[in-house]
Structure 1
Amino acid sequence: MPQDKPLVVRDLRKSYDGVEALRGVSFDVEEGEIFGLIGPNGAGKTTTLRIVAGLIRPDSGEVRIYGLSPQTGDVRVKRLISYLPEEAGVYKNLTGLDFLEFIAEVYAEDGGEAQSMVDWARRVSGLGDRLRDPLRTYSKGMKRRLLIAATLMTRPRLAILDEPTSGLDVYHSVVMRGIIKEYVRETGAAVLLSSHNMLEVEYLCDRVAFINRGVIIATGKPGELKEKYGAENLEDAFIKAVEEAGMVGQV
Protein backbone atom coordinates (compact mmCIF):
# COMPACT_ATOMS: atom_id res chain seq x y z
CA MET A 1 0.00 0.00 0.00
CA PRO A 2 1.41 3.46 -0.91
CA GLN A 3 2.71 5.22 2.19
CA ASP A 4 3.20 8.82 1.06
CA LYS A 5 -0.27 9.74 -0.16
CA PRO A 6 -2.61 11.87 1.95
CA LEU A 7 -5.21 9.12 1.84
CA VAL A 8 -5.39 5.52 0.70
CA VAL A 9 -8.61 3.54 1.23
CA ARG A 10 -8.74 -0.15 0.43
CA ASP A 11 -11.75 -2.52 0.40
CA LEU A 12 -13.72 -0.93 3.24
CA ARG A 13 -16.68 -2.98 4.43
CA LYS A 14 -19.14 -2.02 7.13
CA SER A 15 -22.53 -3.37 8.18
CA TYR A 16 -25.14 -2.11 10.63
CA ASP A 17 -27.53 -4.71 12.03
CA GLY A 18 -26.90 -6.97 9.06
CA VAL A 19 -27.35 -4.21 6.47
CA GLU A 20 -24.25 -3.58 4.34
CA ALA A 21 -23.41 0.13 4.35
CA LEU A 22 -20.06 -0.30 2.56
CA ARG A 23 -19.23 -3.14 0.20
CA GLY A 24 -15.56 -2.90 -0.72
CA VAL A 25 -14.91 0.83 -1.08
CA SER A 26 -11.45 1.75 -2.42
CA PHE A 27 -9.93 5.05 -3.61
CA ASP A 28 -6.87 7.30 -3.20
CA VAL A 29 -6.54 11.05 -2.67
CA GLU A 30 -3.46 12.92 -3.88
CA GLU A 31 -1.74 16.00 -2.45
CA GLY A 32 -3.30 19.25 -3.62
CA GLU A 33 -6.47 17.44 -4.70
CA ILE A 34 -10.12 17.97 -3.85
CA PHE A 35 -11.75 14.55 -4.06
CA GLY A 36 -15.51 14.23 -3.91
CA LEU A 37 -17.42 11.17 -2.78
CA ILE A 38 -20.84 11.80 -4.24
CA GLY A 39 -24.10 9.95 -4.30
CA PRO A 40 -27.63 9.98 -2.85
CA ASN A 41 -28.47 9.96 0.83
CA GLY A 42 -27.76 6.56 2.37
CA ALA A 43 -25.13 5.67 -0.23
CA GLY A 44 -22.33 5.23 2.33
CA LYS A 45 -20.65 8.63 2.11
CA THR A 46 -20.81 9.58 5.79
CA THR A 47 -19.84 6.09 6.94
CA THR A 48 -16.74 6.27 4.76
CA LEU A 49 -15.77 9.70 6.07
CA ARG A 50 -16.27 8.66 9.69
CA ILE A 51 -14.02 5.64 9.18
CA VAL A 52 -11.35 7.82 7.53
CA ALA A 53 -11.58 10.24 10.47
CA GLY A 54 -11.09 7.36 12.91
CA LEU A 55 -14.49 7.75 14.58
CA ILE A 56 -15.73 4.26 13.74
CA ARG A 57 -14.04 1.04 12.75
CA PRO A 58 -14.68 -0.85 9.52
CA ASP A 59 -15.59 -4.53 9.64
CA SER A 60 -12.70 -5.06 7.27
CA GLY A 61 -10.47 -3.09 4.94
CA GLU A 62 -7.76 -0.52 5.53
CA VAL A 63 -7.21 3.24 5.65
CA ARG A 64 -3.84 5.00 5.58
CA ILE A 65 -3.29 8.75 6.04
CA TYR A 66 0.31 9.49 5.02
CA GLY A 67 1.01 5.87 5.88
CA LEU A 68 -0.64 6.01 9.32
CA SER A 69 -3.84 4.28 10.43
CA PRO A 70 -6.57 6.49 11.91
CA GLN A 71 -7.91 3.45 13.77
CA THR A 72 -5.00 3.30 16.23
CA GLY A 73 -5.65 6.62 17.94
CA ASP A 74 -2.16 7.76 16.92
CA VAL A 75 -1.85 11.45 17.83
CA ARG A 76 0.19 12.00 14.66
CA VAL A 77 -2.91 11.23 12.59
CA LYS A 78 -5.04 13.64 14.62
CA ARG A 79 -2.53 16.41 13.86
CA LEU A 80 -2.81 15.71 10.13
CA ILE A 81 -6.58 15.82 9.76
CA SER A 82 -9.59 17.96 10.52
CA TYR A 83 -13.15 16.62 10.24
CA LEU A 84 -16.36 18.57 9.69
CA PRO A 85 -19.47 16.41 10.19
CA GLU A 86 -22.68 17.27 8.36
CA GLU A 87 -24.48 17.86 11.65
CA ALA A 88 -21.64 19.45 13.61
CA GLY A 89 -22.71 21.25 16.75
CA VAL A 90 -21.51 24.43 18.47
CA TYR A 91 -21.45 25.68 22.05
CA LYS A 92 -24.57 27.86 22.00
CA ASN A 93 -23.63 30.12 24.88
CA LEU A 94 -20.27 31.09 23.37
CA THR A 95 -19.90 33.89 20.87
CA GLY A 96 -18.56 33.02 17.44
CA LEU A 97 -15.24 34.62 18.38
CA ASP A 98 -15.09 32.67 21.66
CA PHE A 99 -15.62 29.48 19.67
CA LEU A 100 -12.80 30.23 17.24
CA GLU A 101 -10.44 31.16 20.08
CA PHE A 102 -11.30 27.94 21.92
CA ILE A 103 -10.51 25.79 18.87
CA ALA A 104 -7.30 27.72 18.19
CA GLU A 105 -6.08 27.22 21.76
CA VAL A 106 -6.54 23.45 21.38
CA TYR A 107 -4.51 23.21 18.17
CA ALA A 108 -1.98 26.05 18.30
CA GLU A 109 1.49 25.65 19.80
CA ASP A 110 1.63 29.23 21.07
CA GLY A 111 -0.39 32.40 21.38
CA GLY A 112 0.93 33.88 18.17
CA GLU A 113 -0.15 30.88 16.12
CA ALA A 114 -3.55 30.86 17.84
CA GLN A 115 -4.12 34.52 16.98
CA SER A 116 -3.09 33.90 13.37
CA MET A 117 -5.62 31.06 13.15
CA VAL A 118 -8.41 33.21 14.56
CA ASP A 119 -7.62 36.15 12.27
CA TRP A 120 -7.73 33.85 9.22
CA ALA A 121 -11.02 32.28 10.32
CA ARG A 122 -12.61 35.66 11.01
CA ARG A 123 -11.84 36.76 7.47
CA VAL A 124 -12.92 33.50 5.87
CA SER A 125 -16.21 33.19 7.75
CA GLY A 126 -17.37 36.60 6.54
CA LEU A 127 -19.45 36.97 9.70
CA GLY A 128 -18.00 40.34 10.69
CA ASP A 129 -19.51 41.85 13.83
CA ARG A 130 -21.84 38.87 14.26
CA LEU A 131 -18.85 36.97 15.62
CA ARG A 132 -19.44 38.85 18.88
CA ASP A 133 -22.99 37.48 19.18
CA PRO A 134 -23.92 34.21 20.98
CA LEU A 135 -24.01 31.18 18.73
CA ARG A 136 -27.58 30.46 19.81
CA THR A 137 -28.60 33.48 17.69
CA TYR A 138 -26.95 32.12 14.52
CA SER A 139 -28.85 30.66 11.60
CA LYS A 140 -27.85 27.22 10.30
CA GLY A 141 -25.98 28.85 7.43
CA MET A 142 -24.05 31.15 9.75
CA LYS A 143 -23.03 28.22 11.94
CA ARG A 144 -21.88 26.34 8.87
CA ARG A 145 -19.70 29.23 7.71
CA LEU A 146 -18.14 29.44 11.17
CA LEU A 147 -17.53 25.69 11.29
CA ILE A 148 -15.89 25.56 7.86
CA ALA A 149 -13.58 28.40 8.88
CA ALA A 150 -12.77 26.66 12.18
CA THR A 151 -12.08 23.37 10.40
CA LEU A 152 -9.62 24.86 7.93
CA MET A 153 -7.90 27.36 10.22
CA THR A 154 -6.06 24.48 11.95
CA ARG A 155 -4.24 23.88 8.63
CA PRO A 156 -4.95 20.15 8.26
CA ARG A 157 -2.98 18.19 5.66
CA LEU A 158 -6.20 16.27 4.98
CA ALA A 159 -9.51 18.09 5.47
CA ILE A 160 -12.54 15.77 5.69
CA LEU A 161 -15.74 17.65 4.93
CA ASP A 162 -19.18 16.03 5.09
CA GLU A 163 -21.69 18.07 3.05
CA PRO A 164 -19.65 21.25 3.64
CA THR A 165 -22.19 23.70 2.19
CA SER A 166 -25.26 22.16 3.84
CA GLY A 167 -27.58 24.95 4.98
CA LEU A 168 -25.87 27.67 2.96
CA ASP A 169 -27.65 29.84 0.43
CA VAL A 170 -26.41 29.99 -3.16
CA TYR A 171 -24.18 33.03 -2.62
CA HIS A 172 -22.42 31.69 0.47
CA SER A 173 -22.12 28.22 -1.08
CA VAL A 174 -20.15 29.79 -3.93
CA VAL A 175 -18.03 31.75 -1.44
CA MET A 176 -17.25 28.65 0.63
CA ARG A 177 -16.33 26.67 -2.46
CA GLY A 178 -13.88 29.42 -3.30
CA ILE A 179 -12.44 29.30 0.22
CA ILE A 180 -11.87 25.54 -0.01
CA LYS A 181 -10.16 25.89 -3.40
CA GLU A 182 -8.02 28.77 -2.11
CA TYR A 183 -7.01 26.74 0.94
CA VAL A 184 -5.81 23.86 -1.22
CA ARG A 185 -3.89 26.20 -3.53
CA GLU A 186 -2.20 27.93 -0.60
CA THR A 187 -1.25 24.85 1.40
CA GLY A 188 -1.04 21.96 -1.06
CA ALA A 189 -3.29 20.02 1.32
CA ALA A 190 -5.82 17.41 0.25
CA VAL A 191 -9.58 17.53 0.76
CA LEU A 192 -12.00 14.62 0.92
CA LEU A 193 -15.60 15.76 0.84
CA SER A 194 -18.99 14.18 0.47
CA SER A 195 -22.03 15.65 -1.18
CA HIS A 196 -25.28 14.64 -2.78
CA ASN A 197 -25.20 17.89 -4.77
CA MET A 198 -23.51 16.67 -7.92
CA LEU A 199 -23.87 19.90 -9.83
CA GLU A 200 -22.04 21.73 -7.04
CA VAL A 201 -19.07 19.39 -6.78
CA GLU A 202 -18.65 19.45 -10.55
CA TYR A 203 -17.24 22.95 -10.08
CA LEU A 204 -15.28 22.15 -6.92
CA CYS A 205 -13.65 18.73 -7.20
CA ASP A 206 -10.60 17.64 -9.17
CA ARG A 207 -11.81 14.04 -9.10
CA VAL A 208 -14.98 12.37 -7.92
CA ALA A 209 -16.19 8.89 -7.08
CA PHE A 210 -19.81 7.91 -7.63
CA ILE A 211 -21.03 5.79 -4.71
CA ASN A 212 -24.34 3.99 -4.54
CA ARG A 213 -25.55 1.35 -2.08
CA GLY A 214 -22.07 1.14 -0.53
CA VAL A 215 -20.30 0.51 -3.84
CA ILE A 216 -18.13 2.89 -5.88
CA ILE A 217 -19.36 2.53 -9.43
CA ALA A 218 -17.11 5.07 -11.20
CA THR A 219 -14.15 7.33 -10.45
CA GLY A 220 -12.53 10.09 -12.49
CA LYS A 221 -12.29 13.77 -13.27
CA PRO A 222 -15.70 15.41 -13.77
CA GLY A 223 -15.00 16.04 -17.45
CA GLU A 224 -13.84 12.47 -17.99
CA LEU A 225 -16.96 11.04 -16.40
CA LYS A 226 -19.24 13.28 -18.44
CA GLU A 227 -17.43 12.22 -21.60
CA LYS A 228 -17.46 8.54 -20.65
CA TYR A 229 -21.21 8.49 -20.14
CA GLY A 230 -22.11 11.03 -22.82
CA ALA A 231 -23.66 13.32 -20.23
CA GLU A 232 -24.04 17.09 -19.99
CA ASN A 233 -23.43 17.16 -16.23
CA LEU A 234 -22.42 14.89 -13.36
CA GLU A 235 -26.00 14.29 -12.33
CA ASP A 236 -26.77 12.73 -15.69
CA ALA A 237 -23.46 10.84 -15.64
CA PHE A 238 -24.34 9.37 -12.24
CA ILE A 239 -27.70 8.10 -13.49
CA LYS A 240 -26.06 6.49 -16.50
CA ALA A 241 -23.37 4.93 -14.29
CA VAL A 242 -26.08 3.45 -12.08
CA GLU A 243 -27.84 2.04 -15.14
CA GLU A 244 -24.59 0.57 -16.49
CA ALA A 245 -23.89 -1.02 -13.09
CA GLY A 246 -27.29 -2.70 -13.15
CA MET A 247 -28.43 -0.82 -10.05
CA VAL A 248 -31.57 0.84 -11.42
CA GLY A 249 -34.17 1.04 -8.67
CA GLN A 250 -31.47 0.84 -6.00
CA VAL A 251 -30.67 4.56 -5.71
Structure 2
Amino acid sequence: MADQQRTAQDLIRDLRRKGISTAEIAEELHRSPRMVRKILNGETSGALYRQALQELADTGRLTHVPPRRRRKDGSIAPVRGKAGAKPVIPEDLSGTYVEGRQGGRLRVDVAYATGGDRYIEMRIPKGRTAKGREQANAELIKQVRNAAKGQSHDKQKQITAHLTFSNGRVMEVNSYNASTMLKRIHENGGDALGWFREESKNRYVNLDTSRDTITGVTLNVVSTAKTTEYQRQAERGRTRRPRSLSPAELISMEEKRRIEERRARRRGNRGGGQ
Protein backbone atom coordinates (compact mmCIF):
# COMPACT_ATOMS: atom_id res chain seq x y z
CA MET A 1 0.00 0.00 0.00
CA ALA A 2 1.38 3.45 -0.96
CA ASP A 3 2.37 5.64 1.96
CA GLN A 4 -0.22 8.32 1.08
CA GLN A 5 -2.99 5.69 1.19
CA ARG A 6 -2.08 4.28 4.60
CA THR A 7 -4.47 5.46 7.25
CA ALA A 8 -3.63 6.07 10.90
CA GLN A 9 -5.23 2.71 11.66
CA ASP A 10 -2.97 0.97 9.09
CA LEU A 11 0.12 2.62 10.53
CA ILE A 12 -0.75 1.62 14.11
CA ARG A 13 -1.30 -1.97 12.96
CA ASP A 14 2.13 -1.91 11.29
CA LEU A 15 3.74 -0.57 14.44
CA ARG A 16 2.03 -3.24 16.55
CA ARG A 17 3.35 -5.93 14.18
CA LYS A 18 6.84 -4.53 14.73
CA GLY A 19 6.47 -5.22 18.44
CA ILE A 20 5.65 -1.70 19.66
CA SER A 21 2.89 -1.81 22.24
CA THR A 22 -0.23 0.36 22.28
CA ALA A 23 1.00 2.09 25.44
CA GLU A 24 4.36 2.88 23.80
CA ILE A 25 2.69 4.32 20.70
CA ALA A 26 0.46 6.46 22.93
CA GLU A 27 3.48 7.71 24.88
CA GLU A 28 5.25 8.75 21.68
CA LEU A 29 2.15 10.65 20.55
CA HIS A 30 1.68 12.20 24.02
CA ARG A 31 -1.84 10.78 24.06
CA SER A 32 -3.66 8.15 26.11
CA PRO A 33 -3.69 4.45 25.13
CA ARG A 34 -7.48 4.79 24.91
CA MET A 35 -7.10 7.15 21.94
CA VAL A 36 -4.81 4.69 20.15
CA ARG A 37 -7.31 1.89 20.76
CA LYS A 38 -10.12 4.06 19.36
CA ILE A 39 -8.13 4.49 16.14
CA LEU A 40 -7.44 0.75 15.99
CA ASN A 41 -11.13 -0.04 16.49
CA GLY A 42 -12.19 2.42 13.80
CA GLU A 43 -14.05 4.66 16.26
CA THR A 44 -12.11 7.69 14.98
CA SER A 45 -10.01 8.29 11.87
CA GLY A 46 -6.91 9.50 13.71
CA ALA A 47 -6.09 11.76 10.74
CA LEU A 48 -4.53 14.28 13.14
CA TYR A 49 -1.90 11.69 14.13
CA ARG A 50 -1.15 10.28 10.69
CA GLN A 51 1.98 12.38 10.05
CA ALA A 52 3.48 11.46 13.41
CA LEU A 53 2.60 7.77 13.00
CA GLN A 54 4.14 7.78 9.50
CA GLU A 55 7.39 9.20 10.91
CA LEU A 56 7.42 6.63 13.71
CA ALA A 57 6.82 3.78 11.24
CA ASP A 58 9.49 5.03 8.79
CA THR A 59 12.27 6.11 11.15
CA GLY A 60 11.53 4.35 14.45
CA ARG A 61 11.43 7.64 16.35
CA LEU A 62 9.25 10.71 16.63
CA THR A 63 10.39 14.33 16.32
CA HIS A 64 7.00 15.89 15.51
CA VAL A 65 4.32 15.81 18.21
CA PRO A 66 0.76 16.26 16.84
CA PRO A 67 -1.06 19.39 18.02
CA ARG A 68 -3.89 19.35 20.52
CA ARG A 69 -7.47 19.89 19.38
CA ARG A 70 -8.59 23.48 19.92
CA ARG A 71 -11.92 25.24 20.43
CA LYS A 72 -13.25 28.09 18.28
CA ASP A 73 -11.64 30.68 20.55
CA GLY A 74 -8.23 29.09 20.01
CA SER A 75 -7.90 27.57 23.48
CA ILE A 76 -7.01 23.91 23.96
CA ALA A 77 -10.03 21.66 24.20
CA PRO A 78 -10.32 19.73 27.48
CA VAL A 79 -9.92 15.95 27.46
CA ARG A 80 -11.54 13.26 29.54
CA GLY A 81 -9.94 12.74 32.93
CA LYS A 82 -9.69 9.57 34.96
CA ALA A 83 -12.85 7.73 35.94
CA GLY A 84 -15.00 10.00 38.08
CA ALA A 85 -12.75 13.03 37.54
CA LYS A 86 -13.55 16.25 35.72
CA PRO A 87 -12.18 16.93 32.21
CA VAL A 88 -8.68 18.42 32.21
CA ILE A 89 -6.93 20.81 29.84
CA PRO A 90 -3.71 19.07 28.68
CA GLU A 91 -0.36 20.75 28.12
CA ASP A 92 0.33 21.54 24.47
CA LEU A 93 3.59 19.78 23.56
CA SER A 94 3.05 19.95 19.80
CA GLY A 95 5.78 20.93 17.37
CA THR A 96 9.08 19.63 16.10
CA TYR A 97 11.80 18.76 18.59
CA VAL A 98 15.53 19.07 17.88
CA GLU A 99 18.68 18.42 19.87
CA GLY A 100 19.30 21.08 22.49
CA ARG A 101 21.04 21.66 25.80
CA GLN A 102 20.32 19.05 28.39
CA GLY A 103 20.14 21.39 31.36
CA GLY A 104 18.96 19.79 34.59
CA ARG A 105 16.19 17.69 33.13
CA LEU A 106 16.01 14.04 32.18
CA ARG A 107 15.93 13.41 28.43
CA VAL A 108 14.85 10.10 26.91
CA ASP A 109 15.08 9.17 23.24
CA VAL A 110 13.74 5.83 21.98
CA ALA A 111 14.31 4.46 18.46
CA TYR A 112 12.14 1.45 17.58
CA ALA A 113 13.09 -1.32 15.15
CA THR A 114 11.45 -4.45 13.79
CA GLY A 115 10.57 -7.29 16.13
CA GLY A 116 10.25 -5.11 19.20
CA ASP A 117 13.96 -4.23 19.17
CA ARG A 118 14.79 -0.73 20.31
CA TYR A 119 17.60 1.62 21.25
CA ILE A 120 17.03 3.81 24.31
CA GLU A 121 19.26 6.77 25.09
CA MET A 122 18.91 8.62 28.40
CA ARG A 123 20.65 11.83 29.45
CA ILE A 124 20.53 12.20 33.21
CA PRO A 125 21.14 15.29 35.37
CA LYS A 126 24.50 15.26 37.14
CA GLY A 127 23.34 16.44 40.56
CA ARG A 128 22.93 13.55 43.00
CA THR A 129 19.73 15.05 44.44
CA ALA A 130 18.25 16.23 41.12
CA LYS A 131 14.63 15.25 40.57
CA GLY A 132 15.59 13.95 37.13
CA ARG A 133 17.61 11.15 38.71
CA GLU A 134 14.52 9.76 40.45
CA GLN A 135 12.70 10.00 37.13
CA ALA A 136 15.60 8.19 35.45
CA ASN A 137 15.26 5.26 37.85
CA ALA A 138 11.55 4.95 37.10
CA GLU A 139 12.17 5.28 33.34
CA LEU A 140 14.87 2.59 33.36
CA ILE A 141 12.60 0.15 35.18
CA LYS A 142 9.78 0.92 32.73
CA GLN A 143 11.98 0.35 29.67
CA VAL A 144 13.40 -2.92 31.01
CA ARG A 145 9.89 -4.10 31.96
CA ASN A 146 8.62 -3.25 28.45
CA ALA A 147 11.42 -5.32 26.95
CA ALA A 148 10.60 -8.25 29.24
CA LYS A 149 6.94 -8.08 28.22
CA GLY A 150 7.98 -8.30 24.57
CA GLN A 151 9.40 -11.80 24.97
CA SER A 152 7.63 -14.83 23.50
CA HIS A 153 7.80 -18.61 23.82
CA ASP A 154 10.74 -18.85 21.39
CA LYS A 155 12.27 -15.37 21.57
CA GLN A 156 13.96 -13.54 24.40
CA LYS A 157 15.06 -9.92 24.75
CA GLN A 158 18.73 -9.33 25.41
CA ILE A 159 19.75 -5.94 26.83
CA THR A 160 23.23 -4.46 26.57
CA ALA A 161 23.78 -1.27 28.55
CA HIS A 162 26.43 1.43 28.18
CA LEU A 163 27.02 3.95 30.97
CA THR A 164 28.44 7.46 30.78
CA PHE A 165 29.90 8.91 33.98
CA SER A 166 30.25 12.57 34.89
CA ASN A 167 34.00 12.44 34.20
CA GLY A 168 33.26 11.48 30.58
CA ARG A 169 34.12 7.79 30.87
CA VAL A 170 31.91 5.41 28.87
CA MET A 171 31.74 1.70 29.59
CA GLU A 172 29.67 -1.33 28.74
CA VAL A 173 27.74 -3.42 31.25
CA ASN A 174 27.28 -7.17 30.78
CA SER A 175 24.40 -8.20 28.51
CA TYR A 176 21.37 -9.58 30.34
CA ASN A 177 18.10 -11.26 29.55
CA ALA A 178 15.43 -8.58 30.09
CA SER A 179 13.61 -10.56 32.81
CA THR A 180 16.87 -11.24 34.63
CA MET A 181 17.88 -7.57 34.52
CA LEU A 182 14.48 -6.56 35.89
CA LYS A 183 14.78 -9.10 38.70
CA ARG A 184 18.28 -7.89 39.64
CA ILE A 185 17.13 -4.26 39.77
CA HIS A 186 14.21 -5.19 42.05
CA GLU A 187 16.62 -7.18 44.25
CA ASN A 188 18.61 -3.94 44.55
CA GLY A 189 15.58 -2.19 46.04
CA GLY A 190 14.42 -0.78 42.71
CA ASP A 191 17.52 1.43 42.42
CA ALA A 192 18.36 0.94 38.74
CA LEU A 193 21.19 3.49 38.64
CA GLY A 194 22.69 2.00 41.80
CA TRP A 195 22.55 -1.49 40.28
CA PHE A 196 24.23 -0.32 37.07
CA ARG A 197 26.94 1.34 39.16
CA GLU A 198 27.64 -1.92 41.03
CA GLU A 199 27.70 -3.85 37.76
CA SER A 200 30.32 -1.50 36.34
CA LYS A 201 32.44 -1.96 39.49
CA ASN A 202 32.16 -5.73 39.15
CA ARG A 203 33.31 -5.68 35.54
CA TYR A 204 36.20 -3.21 35.72
CA VAL A 205 38.93 -3.97 38.26
CA ASN A 206 40.42 -0.48 38.60
CA LEU A 207 37.22 1.53 38.44
CA ASP A 208 36.29 3.88 41.26
CA THR A 209 32.69 5.04 40.87
CA SER A 210 32.37 6.56 44.34
CA ARG A 211 32.78 10.18 43.18
CA ASP A 212 31.45 10.23 39.61
CA THR A 213 27.71 10.01 38.95
CA ILE A 214 26.05 8.32 35.99
CA THR A 215 24.95 10.99 33.51
CA GLY A 216 23.96 8.77 30.60
CA VAL A 217 22.55 5.30 29.96
CA THR A 218 21.93 3.61 26.62
CA LEU A 219 20.05 0.33 26.37
CA ASN A 220 20.30 -1.75 23.20
CA VAL A 221 17.40 -4.24 23.21
CA VAL A 222 17.59 -7.07 20.65
CA SER A 223 15.61 -10.26 20.08
CA THR A 224 17.46 -13.57 20.21
CA ALA A 225 16.26 -17.14 19.95
CA LYS A 226 15.93 -19.08 23.18
CA THR A 227 18.68 -21.67 23.13
CA THR A 228 18.29 -25.40 23.72
CA GLU A 229 20.00 -24.94 27.09
CA TYR A 230 17.47 -22.22 28.00
CA GLN A 231 14.57 -24.57 27.15
CA ARG A 232 16.18 -27.40 29.12
CA GLN A 233 16.55 -25.19 32.20
CA ALA A 234 12.93 -24.05 31.83
CA GLU A 235 11.70 -27.65 31.71
CA ARG A 236 13.53 -28.28 34.96
CA GLY A 237 11.69 -25.35 36.50
CA ARG A 238 14.72 -23.09 36.41
CA THR A 239 14.53 -20.35 33.79
CA ARG A 240 17.67 -18.44 34.76
CA ARG A 241 21.23 -19.69 34.79
CA PRO A 242 23.67 -18.25 37.33
CA ARG A 243 25.71 -15.39 35.92
CA SER A 244 29.42 -15.99 35.28
CA LEU A 245 31.64 -13.97 37.58
CA SER A 246 33.61 -11.16 36.00
CA PRO A 247 37.43 -10.87 36.41
CA ALA A 248 36.91 -8.05 38.93
CA GLU A 249 34.54 -10.21 40.99
CA LEU A 250 36.96 -13.15 40.92
CA ILE A 251 39.78 -10.92 42.14
CA SER A 252 37.56 -9.51 44.88
CA MET A 253 36.53 -12.99 46.01
CA GLU A 254 40.17 -14.10 46.10
CA GLU A 255 41.13 -11.06 48.21
CA LYS A 256 38.28 -11.78 50.64
CA ARG A 257 39.41 -15.42 50.90
CA ARG A 258 42.96 -14.37 51.76
CA ILE A 259 41.74 -11.88 54.37
CA GLU A 260 39.60 -14.58 56.01
CA GLU A 261 42.57 -16.98 56.05
CA ARG A 262 44.80 -14.38 57.73
CA ARG A 263 42.11 -13.67 60.33
CA ALA A 264 41.71 -17.37 61.01
CA ARG A 265 45.49 -17.79 61.49
CA ARG A 266 45.56 -14.84 63.92
CA ARG A 267 42.71 -16.31 65.93
CA GLY A 268 44.53 -19.66 66.00
CA ASN A 269 47.77 -18.07 67.19
CA ARG A 270 46.01 -16.19 69.97
CA GLY A 271 44.29 -19.36 71.10
CA GLY A 272 47.55 -21.35 71.09
CA GLY A 273 49.33 -18.75 73.22
CA GLN A 274 46.84 -18.97 76.07
TM-score of the aligned structures, taking structure 1 as reference length: 0.28
Higher relative contact order (CA 8 A, sep 6+): 1
Larger-Rg structure:
2
TM-score of the aligned structures, taking structure 2 as reference length: 0.26
* Structure that is richer in strand per residue: 1
